[in-house]
Amino acid sequence: MTRATRLIKKLDRLLSEHDSFGDSPESCVDEMVDKLSDLIKAIQEKNKQEHWASIYVERDRTRIKTAVLNKVMDRSSQ
């Protein structure tokens, strides 16, 4: 398992610990980054292109997921 994969899996685990993020989900970002700091540092030190590519793909998946879920929510209000 690559460092990027471990980072993504740990982030998913941290996120799954919450049932709700309240009105300000962004407020937990710094806390999550702090908890992931060792893995982030390891990725930065290795600086392998494949790690960064995995992170970019995961970020894009998340953007697509957000867009789809927003459309679903829009439909529920119609």
Segment 22-62, tens digit of pLDDT: 889 899 999 999 999 999 999 999 999 999 999 999 999 99
Count of the separate structural domains present in the chain: 1
**Per-residue pLDDT, 78:** 72
Does residue 77 lie in a domain region?
A: yes
Would you call 26 exposed, middle or buried from its count of C-beta atoms within 10 A (0-12, 13-18, 19+)? exposed
Q: How far is CA 66 from the centre of its chain?
A: 12
**Number of C-beta neighbours around residue 24 at 10 A:** 7
More confident residue, 77 or 18: 18
- What pLDDT, on a 0 to 100 scale, did the predictor assign at position 11? 97
Q: Residue 32: inside a domain, yes or no?
A: no
Q: Is residue 65 part of a domain?
A: yes
| 12 located within any domain | no
Is 23 within the bounds of a domain? no
Average pLDDT of the residues in 8-35: 93
- Report the pLDDT value the prediction gives residue 22, as an integer from 0 to 100: 87
- Domain encompassing residue 60: 47-78
* pTM of the predicted protein model: 0.85
Q: Is residue 59 part of a domain?
A: yes
- On whether residue 66 sits in a domain, the answer given is yes
